[in-house]
Chains A and B, each alone.
Chain A
Amino acid sequence: MEYVNPEGLRLDGRRPMEMRQIRAEIGVVSRADGSASFEMGNTKVIAAVYGPREVQNRSQQINDQALVRCEYSMANFSTGDRRRKNKGDRRSTEISLVIRQTMEACILTHLMPRSQIDIFVQVLQADGGTRSACINAATLALADAGIPMRDLVTSCSAGYLNSTPLLDLNYLEDSAGGPDVTVGILPKLDKVTLLQMDAKLPIDTFETVMQLAVEGCKAVESYIREILLENTKKLEIRRGA
C-alpha cells in the first residue's frame, strides 16, 4: 500500500514532517486536583491527577519519596470497531507502566515523602499515538495540580514507511507494520526519558527518525508551554478580580 503518494502527501493529506493538529485544555475534570485533555488529530485523551495525598494502601508507602501510580483505560467507543475490553488487559497494563515510569522520572518525588500521586488517563478516541497523547495530557494535568517537576515531559511518535520518515503516525500508518518510534523527552534538560520502537530499522535511518520524533516533542512542548501560560494568566486575572 502507498502511504506517501508521488506528490509527497500522506493518506490524511499531511506532509511527511507535519504533525496533526494538536489541542489542549486544562481543568476538564473539576473535581480532580489537576486535569487536562489533549488532542492530536482524532486521538483524544483526558488525564486527571489526584494528589499528593495520603497513601491509600499503607504497605505501598515509601518513606523517602512519593508513590506515583497510573492507570490507563480506553473507552468502549474509542476505537473504530467496538470492542469490549476488560480492565487491566495486557496492553493497558503495559501503557500504564510506561506512563508511570515516564512521569515518575520528572516528578520531584523526594519532596513529597509518604504520599501518593494518582494519574488516571482515559482515552476517548484512539487514532494512533495514544501513548504520546497520554503522556502529554498527564504532563499538563500534573502541572495543573501544581506538582513539582524537573521539566515538562513531552512525547511524540515517528515512523518510517515507503522509505520516508513520517512524523506523528495515525492509526492507519501505525498498523501498516512499519517501525514506530515513540520518544519522550525532557526538553529543557535535553534528555530522553522514553524510547520505544517495534520492528527493525537500519541504524542510520533510526537516527533520522528519532531526530524527527524529538523535533515533534519540541513542537509539542512549545504548545504546552503556551497553554500553561494562558492558563496561568487566566488564574491571575481571576485572582485580581
Chain B
Amino acid sequence: MVGLSIGEKNFIKGGIAQDMRNDGRKRLTYRPIYVETGVIPQANGSARIKLGPTDVIAGVKAELGKPSQAHPDQGKIYIHVDCSPTAEPSFEGRGGEELSAELTAALEGCLLGGKSGAGAGIDPSSLSIKEGKVCWDLYIDCLVISSGGNLLDALGAAIKAALSNTGIPRVQVREAASSDEQADVDVSDEEFLQFDTSGIPVIVTLIKVGRHYIVDATSEEESLMNSAVSISVNRQGLVCGLTKRGGIGLDPSVILDMISVAKHVSEQLINKLDSEIEAAEKAHEDEP
C-alpha cells in the first residue's frame, strides 16, 4: 500500500491536470520499456519486461495434450499469474492470490478471446496436431517480481514478447493402426515452429484521476485512481478486450472516449514494443 499525505496527493493530481506528471512524463507517455527474451532456458519461450520499477517475467511451456470434446480441432491455452512476495510483502502466503486471480482473468479476457477461441491473439487451431487426438497445451506462466504500477500492461507485453520467443517442436504423426488407439507422435528436437505474433494485442490501461486519464500509472498514481479501464488493441486498431476495474462508475461516453485514446496510444506502444522485442531477440541470438 502506498501511504500518501493530502499534500502529496494534491501535488500528483495537480501535475496530471497540467499534463506534467511527477516523473516528467506527459499524460499519455509510457515509461521506457526494457525487454529481454530467452531468460528461462527451461521454457519454450520466455521474456522479462521492465517498466520503471515494475518487473515481470512470462514463461511459455508447451506440452502434448488431448483436445477438449467441444473443440477437437483446437489446442488449449492457459494463462496463470503469480505474484511473488518479493514484489510486495503483503503477497506473502495466500496474500497475493486475489490480485493474481484478477490479473489472470483480465489477461484471459484480453488475449484469449471468446470460449470458441474466436478473436484470440493466438489462433488455437494452430496448436492442433491431430484432430481429436493430440494437440499442444500452451501454459503461459507469469511472475510479478517487482510491482511499480501498471502490472497488467507489463504482463500483456511480457506475454507478447515471450510468445515471439517461443519455438514449438515440429511434430510428425505416425498413422495409428486403429482410430481409437493413442496417436503415435514424433517430437523433433531440431525443428521448431515460430508463432505468428503479429495478431497479439497490447493492453493499454487508462487510469482516470480527476477529470483526466493517464497511461502507465506508477503505484502512487494508481492509489489516486477513480477507475481504471484496460483495453487491448491489436495492430489493426481493433479492440480485442476490455476490462474495467475498481473505483467509482464511469459515464458511458467517457468509456467511448477512453477507447479512442487507447487506440491512439496503442499504435505507438505496438511499434515501440515490436522494435524492442526484435532488438532483444537479436541480442539473444548473438549471445554465444
For A46, what are the chain B residues with a Cβ–Cβ distance below 8 Å? Answer: 84, 86, 145
- CB of A147 within 8 A of chain B? no
Pairs A–B under 8 Å by Cβ, sample size 14: A28-B145, A30-B148, A31-B87, A31-B147, A31-B148, A73-B84, A75-B84, A76-B59, A76-B82, A82-B63, A118-B92, A120-B86, A122-B84, A124-B143
For A71, what are the chain B residues with a Cβ–Cβ distance below 8 Å? Answer: 85, 92-93
The interface bits of chain B over 71-86 (1 if a CB of A lies within 8 angstroms of the residue's CB, else 0) are: 0000000001010111
For A78, what are the chain B residues with a Cβ–Cβ distance below 8 Å? Answer: 40, 42
- CB of B53 within 8 A of chain A? yes
- CB of A113 within 8 A of chain B? no
CA distance A28 to B82 in the complex (A): 18
For A75, what are the chain B residues with a Cβ–Cβ distance below 8 Å? Answer: 57, 59, 82, 84, 141, 143
Chain B stretch 87-137: residues in CB contact (< 8 A) with chain A: 87-89, 92-94
Chain A stretch 27-80: residues in CB contact (< 8 A) with chain B: 28-32, 35, 42, 46-48, 50, 56, 69, 71, 73, 75-80
Chain B: CB-nearest residue to A121:
B86
Contact yes or no, B93 A124, CB < 8 A: no
* 4 A-B pairs with least C-beta separation: A77-B59, A48-B86, A76-B141, A120-B85
User: Which of B42, B55, B93, B148 sits near A77, CB closer than 8 Å?
Assistant: B42
The interface bits of chain B over 45-80 (1 if a CB of A lies within 8 angstroms of the residue's CB, else 0) are: 010000001010101010100000000000000001
- 4 further A-B contacts with Cβ under 8 Å, apart from A76-B59, A76-B80, A122-B84, are A28-B55, A77-B42, A122-B145, A127-B42
- CB of B43 within 8 A of chain A? yes
For A148, what are the chain B residues with a Cβ–Cβ distance below 8 Å? Answer: none
Number of interface residues of B (CB under 8 A): 30
The interface bits of chain B over 147-163 (1 if a CB of A lies within 8 angstroms of the residue's CB, else 0) are: 11000000000000000
CA distance A79 to B41 in the complex (A): 10
Min Cβ gap A33→B in Å is 10
Number of interface residues of A (CB under 8 A): 33
For A31, what are the chain B residues with a Cβ–Cβ distance below 8 Å? Answer: 53, 87-88, 146-148
Min Cβ gap B97→A in Å is 8
Chain B: CB-nearest residue to A69:
B92
User: Which of A29, A42, A69 sits near B86, CB closer than 8 Å?
Assistant: A29
- CB of B30 within 8 A of chain A? no
Partner-B contacts on A (CB < 8 A): 28-32, 35, 42, 46-48, 50, 56, 69, 71, 73, 75-82, 84, 87-88, 118, 120-122, 124-125, 127
Min Cβ gap A165→B in Å is 28
Min Cβ gap B54→A in Å is 9
Min Cβ gap B88→A in Å is 8
- CB of B195 within 8 A of chain A? no
Contact yes or no, A87 B146, CB < 8 A: no
User: Which of A29, A69, A87 sits near B87, CB closer than 8 Å?
Assistant: A29
For A50, what are the chain B residues with a Cβ–Cβ distance below 8 Å? Answer: 89
Contact yes or no, B40 A30, CB < 8 A: no
Tell which of A29, A69, A84 has the most Cβ of chain B within 10 Å: A29
Contact yes or no, B141 A77, CB < 8 A: yes
